[in-house]
Amino acid sequence: MDTQKNKSKIASLSDLENICEKLITTLQSEENIYLELVQEESAKKDAILDKNSKKILQLTQEQENKITLIDKKEEERSELIKQISRIMRPNGKIDKLSDLADAKISASIKERLLHHSYALKELMITLKNITDTNMKILEDNRKLFETIIEELSGEETIGYGPGETKQRNKKSIFVNQTG
């Protein structure tokens, strides 16, 4: 009977390590996609500053395709974590990868899992920061153009003209036409 339990534990441990390897591969794949997103978001920043709407649109469409891939990878990751959870804690669940610290898997696998999970998290934070900056630049540009339009279309009364009619003068605004 003990031999059967030991074989079961060995099989479970082997299964656990195989699933962890699949999880590492999934995390690496997600890292690569996020790295591409970070590069595209950086390129989008340049396009925003250059006011190149075609490039902004192209990059946004490419990013939307990558987000679809990320959704699939997140589903894979979630399913693999559920599988790990069933093996490690049949009555409970694993909430985060650092919970694997007490698992009886090799130190190398634990280290790689944690490394890739932290690297992925850092890329997500980097992407969020660049995206926030781009949104701020876009908002500033929008406000600038609204102000310019308001100033160009607004009326300013400067006094009365001949025959005591109001004379209007549009304000002059200098606009940088580069790009």
pLDDT at 26: 97
How far is 109 from 113, CA to CA, in rounded Å?
Answer: 6
pLDDT at 7: 47
Question: 90 is written with which tokens?
Answer: 């049949």
pLDDT at 65: 94
Do 20 and 84 touch, CB atoms closer than 8 A? yes
Q: pLDDT tens, position by position, for the chain (179 residues)?
A: 555 554 455 557 688 899 999 999 999 999 999 999 999 999 999 999 998 999 999 999 999 999 999 999 999 999 998 888 888 776 666 666 666 666 677 889 989 999 999 999 999 999 999 999 999 998 998 888 888 888 887 655 555 556 555 555 555 555 555 54
In the chain the first and final C-alpha atoms are separated, in Å, by 78
pLDDT at 24: 96
